[in-house]
């Protein structure tokens, strides 16, 4: 639909004139059925009729929905502006320099820490509008991220392959050294996070012979320093602030800068011209060790199966948690009723969890509970009630009885495990 507002002054005039013989038809036409509460006046001013706001509820009481959802439906010709992507497209053809970022990509996606870091990289790259730099993201292994450009990446170097799937810091450092040799970025930025960035960044800095700034939380322009930038970093276990000239390699904390939101970038793929060197690693990755999910603190757990008032078959639930290998959580009602221990309560008065995947079984999604799962990535709801808040919050909601769905899920996973076992036996 075009954005141009087309007005028919005659119809508007009829709509205002209650005595006009065509008044009702015109109202119906303009207001889409109900009498309009809002219309464009003759001078382009919006006119309102407060009496026409709202609708008659089921009990015969007039209700007003201020969320705007109802009014939007009544707008003539649905003239509601669609949320348009107003972000500016930026392409940097010939960058004056590069700022390399090595994001963590936990679970194959950019974390908020990674986005902050990319924001910081943009700050460094865009300082001089005449000679803009490009942000180069170097990522290892498989990923599921599709919005690198919106996070501020101009060039994307994806190192894919068998050798990057496990924990092989020596191989990664060798690869980053090749990047240094070929692309010579002006700055290297890594997240100072326990997810791998802290370790990789220190290894890289030492290998490049640079003295990095660690735990950086602020970077400001500073004409006096050699690099034109000054950074503030935490020292002495977070009790002091060290202000120094920005070095080439920096390991930054979360919220070191605002993430990119106003521009979209090209995220153009680049490749190294030379093959990566063969590295003989002295550290061998034997894979992750299965830990008892019940021993993992709720706040730290990655995968939580949380039970609420809708769970009737508690043995089945505990069995499901065990088969899934998930840490158990609970809503307050489940705890108050004595089905779950207090230290398993999720929510405002319980634990704020940070799971990557949170499965809410029979939980309605009270605000106190939703607060506790704010930072969860993916939420799955299993519930009987299609309209409850947890279903609205969820990325995947399955409507049905919790017991039956959990039983089916357990059966599915057992089948999957068997298949895996067969494959392993065959191999």
Partner 1 sequence: MPHNAKSSDNAGLNVAVLVSVGRHPLTARARRADQDARAVEMALTLSGAAVRLVHASVDDSDNEAALRSYLGMGIGEVNLIKQASGADVVPALVTSLRDMAPQLVLTGTRAETGEGSGLVPYLLSEALGWPVISGLAAVESIEQGVATVLQALPRGKRRRLRVRLPAIATVDSSAPAARQSAFGPARRGEFDTYACASVMDELQAKWQVQPARKRPKRLKIVKSSSARDRFKAAAAKAESGGGQLLSDVSPEQGAEAIFALLKEEGVLR
- Binding residues (CB under 6 A) for ligand FAD: these are 308-310, 312, 331-334, 345-350, 362-364, 366, 368-369, 372, 382-385, 388, 401-402
Pick one of ligand FAD, partner 1, none as the site partner of residue 425 (Cβ within 5 to 8 A by kind): none
- Binder among 28, 40, 92, 242 for partner 1 (CB under 8 A): 242
Give the residue with the Cβ less far from partner 1, 126 or 255: 255
Q: Residue 36: which residues within 8 A CB-CB, separation 6 or more?
A: 15, 27, 30, 49, 52, 74, 76
**Whole-angstrom distance, CA of residue 257 vs CA of residue 362:** 39
Give the residue with the Cβ less far from ligand FAD, 36 or 329: 329
Q: How far is the CB of 15 from partner 1 (least distance, A)?
A: 24
How does 327-340 read in b/e, with b if 16+ C-beta sit within 10 Å?
bbbbbbbbbeeebb
Torsion over CA: 288, 289, 294, 300 (sign): negative
**Whole-angstrom distance, CA of residue 76 vs CA of residue 66:** 18
Pick one of partner 1, ligand FAD, none as the site partner of residue 333 (Cβ within 5 to 8 A by kind): ligand FAD
Only one of the segments 4-12, 44-52, 150-158, 353-361 lies at the binding site for partner 1 (rule: CB under 8 A); that segment is 353-361
Binding-residue pattern over the window 32 to 71 for partner 1, x denoting contact by CB under 8 A: -----------------------------------xx---
Give the residue with the Cβ less far from partner 1, 151 or 270: 151
Binding-residue pattern over the window 156 to 185 for partner 1, x denoting contact by CB under 8 A: -----------x--x---------------
Give the residue with the Cβ less far from partner 1, 16 or 207: 207
Q: Residue 271: which residues within 8 A CB-CB, separation 6 or more?
A: 157
Give the residue with the Cβ less far from ligand FAD, 176 or 363: 363
Residue keyed to tokens 């290297």: 188
Per the CB < 8 A criterion, the answer to whether 242 and 217 are in contact is no
Half-sphere exposure of 376 (CA within 13 A, CB side): 31
Give the residue with the Cβ less far from partner 1, 258 or 422: 258
**Whole-angstrom distance, CA of residue 186 vs CA of residue 35:** 64
Q: How far is the CB of 210 from partner 1 (least distance, A)?
A: 11
Q: How far is the CB of 404 from ligand FAD (least distance, A)?
A: 8
- Binder among 161, 271, 400, 422 for partner 1 (CB under 8 A): 400
Q: What angle do CA 233, 103, 123 make, to 5 degrees?
A: 55
Pick one of partner 1, ligand FAD, none as the site partner of residue 88 (Cβ within 5 to 8 A by kind): none
- Binder among 9, 50, 58, 287 for partner 1 (CB under 8 A): 287
Residues 357-396 touching partner 1, rule: CB under 8 A, are 357, 359, 365, 367, 370, 377-380, 382, 386, 389-396
Asked if 127 interacts with partner 1 (CB under 8 A), we say: no
Binding-residue pattern over the window 254 to 273 for partner 1, x denoting contact by CB under 8 A: -x--x--xx-----------
Q: Which candidate, 302, 294, 315, places its Cα nearest to that of 356? A: 302
For the purposes of burial, counting CB atoms within 10 Å of the CB of 117, is it exposed (0-12), middle (13-18) or buried (19 or more)?
buried
Give the residue with the Cβ less far from ligand FAD, 31 or 372: 372
Asked if 211 interacts with partner 1 (CB under 8 A), we say: yes
**Whole-angstrom distance, CA of residue 360 vs CA of residue 306:** 5
Q: How far is the CB of 397 from ligand FAD (least distance, A)?
A: 11
Asked if 424 interacts with partner 1 (CB under 8 A), we say: no
Per the CB < 8 A criterion, the answer to whether 186 and 97 are in contact is yes
CA distances from 175 to 102, 214, 273, 279, 419 (A): 12, 22, 12, 9, 36
- Binder among 301, 307, 321, 363 for partner 1 (CB under 8 A): 301
Q: How far is the CB of 147 from partner 1 (least distance, A)?
A: 15
* Residue 421 CB coordination number (10 Å): 10
Q: How far is the CB of 92 from partner 1 (least distance, A)?
A: 23
Span between the terminal Cα atoms of the chain, in Å: 58
Q: How far is the CB of 393 from ligand FAD (least distance, A)?
A: 12
**Whole-angstrom distance, CA of residue 181 vs CA of residue 176:** 9
């Amino acid at each position: 639909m075009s954005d141009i507002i087309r007005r028919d002054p005659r119809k508007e005039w009829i709509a205002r004139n209650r005595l006009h013989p065509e008044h009702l038809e015109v109202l119906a036409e303009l207001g889409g059925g109900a009498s309009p509460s809002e219309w464009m006046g003759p001078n382009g001013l919006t006119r309102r009729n407060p009496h026409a706001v709202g609708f008659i509820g089921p009990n015969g009481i007039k209700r007003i929905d201020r969320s705007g959802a109802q009014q939007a439906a009544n707008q003539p010709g649905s003239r509601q502006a669609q949320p348009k992507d107003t972000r500016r497209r930026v392409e940097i053809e010939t960058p004056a320099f590069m700022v390399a970022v090595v994001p963590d990509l936990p679970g194959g996606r950019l974390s908020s820490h990674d986005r902050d870091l990319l924001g910081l990289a943009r700050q460094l790259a865009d300082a001089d509008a005449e000679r803009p730099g490009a942000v180069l993201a170097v990522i290892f292994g498989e990923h599921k991220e599709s919005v690198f450009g919106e996070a501020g990446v101009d060039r994307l170097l994806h190192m894919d392959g068998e050798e990057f799937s496990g924990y092989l810091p020596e191989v990664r450092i060798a690869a980053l050294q090749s990047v240094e040799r070929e692309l010579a970025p002006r700055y290297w930025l890594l997240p100072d996070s326990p997810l791998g960035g802290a370790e990789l960044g220190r290894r890289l800095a030492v290998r490049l012979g640079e003295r990095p700034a660690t735990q950086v939380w602020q970077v400001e322009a500073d004409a006096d320093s050699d690099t034109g930038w000054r950074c503030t970093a935490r020292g002495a276990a977070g009790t002091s602030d060290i202000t120094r000239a920005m070095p080439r390699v920096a390991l930054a904390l979360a919220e070191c800068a605002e993430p990119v939101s106003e521009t979209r970038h090209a995220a153009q793929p680049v490749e190294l011209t030379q093959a990566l060197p063969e590295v003989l690693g002295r550290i061998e990755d034997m894979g992750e060790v299965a830990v008892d999910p019940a021993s993992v603190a709720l706040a730290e757990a990655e995968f939580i199966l949380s039970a609420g008032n809708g769970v009737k078959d508690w043995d089945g639930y505990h069995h499901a948690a065990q088969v899934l290998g998930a840490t158990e959580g609970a809503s307050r009602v489940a705890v108050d009723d004595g089905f779950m221990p207090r230290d398993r309560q999720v929510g405002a008065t319980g634990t704020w969890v940070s799971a990557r995947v949170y499965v809410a079984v029979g939980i309605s999604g009270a605000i106190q509970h939703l607060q506790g799962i704010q930072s969860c990535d993916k939420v799955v709801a299993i519930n009987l009630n299609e309209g409850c808040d947890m279903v609205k919050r969820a990325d995947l909601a399955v409507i049905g009885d919790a017991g039956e769905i959990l039983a089916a899920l357990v059966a599915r996973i057992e089948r999957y495990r068997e298949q895996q076992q067969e494959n392993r036996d065959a191999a």
